[in-house]
Amino acid sequence: MKNTVVAAVCTAAMLLAANANGAADVESRVNELLAKMTLEEKIGQLSQSAGAPASMAAGLESQDMSKANPDDRLFAAVREGRIGSLIGRRGVKKYNELQRAAMSGRLGIPLLVGHDMIHSAKTCYPIPLALSCAWDEDLWERVGAAMAPESILQGCNWTFTPMVDVALDARWGRIAEGAGSDSLVTSLFGAAMVRGLQGEDMADGFHIAACAKHFVAYGAAMGGRDYNAVEMSDDTLRDVYLPPFRAAVEAGVATVMPAFHSFNGIPCSVNRYLLTDILRREFGFDGMTISDYAAVKECTVACHGVAEEGADVAAKALYAGMDMEMVSENYANGVAEALKKGLLKRETLDNAVRNILRVKFRLGLFDHPEIDEDAVSKKVDLAANLALARECAQKGVVVLKNDGVLPLKKESKIAVVGDLADDWKDMFGCWAGSGVSNSKDTKLIEGFKVDGACAKYSRCYNMDGKLDEKELRRAAGEADVVVAAFGEYSRENGENNSKVRIELNPVQLKVLDILAATKKPFVAVVFTGRPLAMPELARKANAVAVAWNLGSAAGLGIADVLLGEVEPWGRLTTDFPNASGECPKFYSRTTTGRPNGTYEQGPRWSTRYRDAPDKSVWPFGFGLAYTTFEYANESARVDGDKVVFSADVKNTGARKGTELVQVYVRDVLAETVRPRRQLKGFKRVALEPGETQKVEVEVPVASLGYTLNGKYRVEPGAFEAWIAPHSDVGRKIGFELK
């Protein structure tokens, strides 16, 4: 035993030394190369392009290339080292040709080729918001690992994911792209995705570079309106929005993408406080930053209005810490002039180039610039990936209401209605790329059939259009139970799809009324990329399941849950509000002077909206199983540098099931107002009927603090805690930090 430990220590020490040598080796190769580079070659490295850059037209005229086709111009630009990176998928053949062109240049510097493979390359996994409802770090890592080789086969070595923006506002369309409204959840799953995509060795030929985005606080856009300004205290930034980025950096993320918006008046793209003081100096990030799409240009007079185009904005962005410019060409056009005018120091330019080269070396591109298609193909098992997609889909479904109609019986006559129940494209969700178009696994109606259910489809209505009332009544009339699709099309969420109204539209409300009037039991399956305000559904449907956009195996995964082939697993990672006007509505809001529910003067004077209940329709952490659980003997005990939370959890129903035991904490007396509850840990437990298990969740004391005037502190004193099935219930217990 002793020997084993010694051996393990030796191995770890040797590994550390090897890594240190590897890092030193990379650094010396970076510096060696940098020393040989001309100014033009350095500027080339700073530019990411979608094709031949416009800025090179002048240079090409002399070579009689100005009339050449775009592809030839692109290859010429690559050979000349005018491009450091390309955006887009071009397939392996083109990728390899382009890398050969790059390597045949004077210094032979390979290209970074990036694309938005957010939750799919070939196989489509659930949108991140849906995947977060699985509360399963390991699953996120497995999805990342499966996506990496599929992405390589699309001709990429880099993806712009994970989005680790904490999103509190359901109006913001990009809430679909992240892991919901909690900082801890977003940190854990974002870091897991980075580990999956990049693997232990990013240079092994089967992994790709990840990109944590959008740095930072993009999810706090005022009014939930995309690209809008963000104003917030530095302490809130540090406690809520920065931790997921820190976690991604600690997981070794290769690249970070600053966000489009202005943060406290300064666009993130030129914000030195964010990009250098925090990201580089505090977090120790030594990868590269890549601007968002044309975001450097957007700092200029026509947009944000904080810089002139060309030299001015190039100097400001580089000084701030923006290494590479995506698609706009201010670096290409302005860096030389900025140097000449003294707006930009050589050292600043060199550091940006170093950061970019470092990522290229870490990816092993200098040693293996081309994709070994055969070897990578062997790593891609599409059937296994589809099985993984099915597991993700099953785990992403969240059952929100069930009066006993679920699980459905296979032999019941099930009427399936609504266009989204017979749709595969919308199951992929926003940023889906070219997901597998396998309708057998993707459409809900097909999923029911594959599972052997007696299901019959009739469209009856579109989500936002035609409703055939007669047909809907007929379909319901013939059936034992109705499964009806609700929600929004995937084109209604994602980037720049903010909404002022997140309620069900009039067509869907009408469908709901018709179904309720038939007195036939009906299950509402909600396809959406954001939490919707749908209290009517909570009242009128017999069962509600949110099925998001679950990807290639959406139909199968949903059917598996609705038919009870698997037990419901998903729990919400956002609140579902009563109405749009409540947004942002999130469980972890801070305490107020007149707390709702406990204020001594009663509800009339406590914080509230006159016309909506204080509670969310479905709160953060919520989700039903087909069995029930009871909590007893909740306790919290401080043990050195951790607090051990414990509860006896019993399965009180007749089916087996898994419960997600969640730990919430409130610092009772602090220097500043604290969240009324904040998630600090969770653990999943599988229980047979009647079984009880003691569940313990350990929480580091160091995670119980908050930031005051820029300094993180953990204060001694009293804390309240809840070990509970979701954020809105539980017996309050307490503990004290000395």
* Residues lying near ligand BGC in the complex (CB under 6 A): 116, 160, 213, 292-293, 495
CB nearer to ligand BGC: pick between 214 and 395: 214
State both tokens at 130. Answer: 């849906």
CB nearer to ligand BGC: pick between 206 and 293: 293
Judging by beta carbons within 10 Å of its beta carbon (0-12, 13-18, 19+), is residue 738 exposed, middle or buried? exposed
CB of 549 to ligand BGC, least distance (A): 17
CB nearer to ligand BGC: pick between 176 and 460: 176
CB of 120 to ligand BGC, least distance (A): 14
CB of 420 to ligand BGC, least distance (A): 25
Q: Assess contact for 613 and 578: CB atoms under 8 A.
A: yes
CB of 146 to ligand BGC, least distance (A): 20
State the pairing for strand pair 522-527/543-546: parallel
User: Cα(533)–Cα(518) distance, rounded to whole angstroms?
Assistant: 24
CB nearer to ligand BGC: pick between 160 and 645: 160
CB nearer to ligand BGC: pick between 194 and 481: 194
Indicate the DSSP class of residue 241: I
Catalytic residue among 182, 292, 575, 667: 292
Q: Assess contact for 510 and 486: CB atoms under 8 A.
A: no
Q: Is the peptide bond before 619 cis (omega within 30 degrees of 0)?
A: no
Q: Assess contact for 408 and 627: CB atoms under 8 A.
A: no
> Residue 417's beta-bridge partner residues?
458, 484
CB nearer to ligand BGC: pick between 149 and 173: 173
CB of 430 to ligand BGC, least distance (A): 10
Could you give the maximum distance between any two Cα atoms of the chain, in Å? 82
The CA dihedral of 150, 151, 155, 161, to the nearest 10 degrees, is 180
Q: Assess contact for 677 and 727: CB atoms under 8 A.
A: yes
CB of 274 to ligand BGC, least distance (A): 16
Comparing C-alpha atoms, which of 434, 424, 425, 419 is closest to residue 471? 419
DSSP reduced 3-state for 216: coil
| Polymer length of the chain | 738
CB of 147 to ligand BGC, least distance (A): 15
CB nearer to ligand BGC: pick between 245 and 293: 293
CB of 161 to ligand BGC, least distance (A): 8
Judging by beta carbons within 10 Å of its beta carbon (0-12, 13-18, 19+), is residue 406 exposed, middle or buried? buried
| Dihedral sign computed on CA atoms, order 211, 212, 218, 224 | positive
Q: ∠ CA 530-532-536 to the nearest 5 degrees? A: 160
CB nearer to ligand BGC: pick between 158 and 722: 158
CB nearer to ligand BGC: pick between 124 and 479: 124
DSSP reduced 3-state for 559: helix
CB of 288 to ligand BGC, least distance (A): 14
CA distances from 539 to 503, 512, 517, 544 (A): 14, 10, 13, 10
Q: Assess contact for 634 and 646: CB atoms under 8 A.
A: yes
User: Cα(146)–Cα(325) distance, rounded to whole angstroms?
Assistant: 29
Q: Assess contact for 154 and 121: CB atoms under 8 A.
A: yes
Q: Is there a catalytic annotation at residue 292?
A: yes
User: Cα(645)–Cα(680) distance, rounded to whole angstroms?
Assistant: 10
Residues that are catalytic: 292
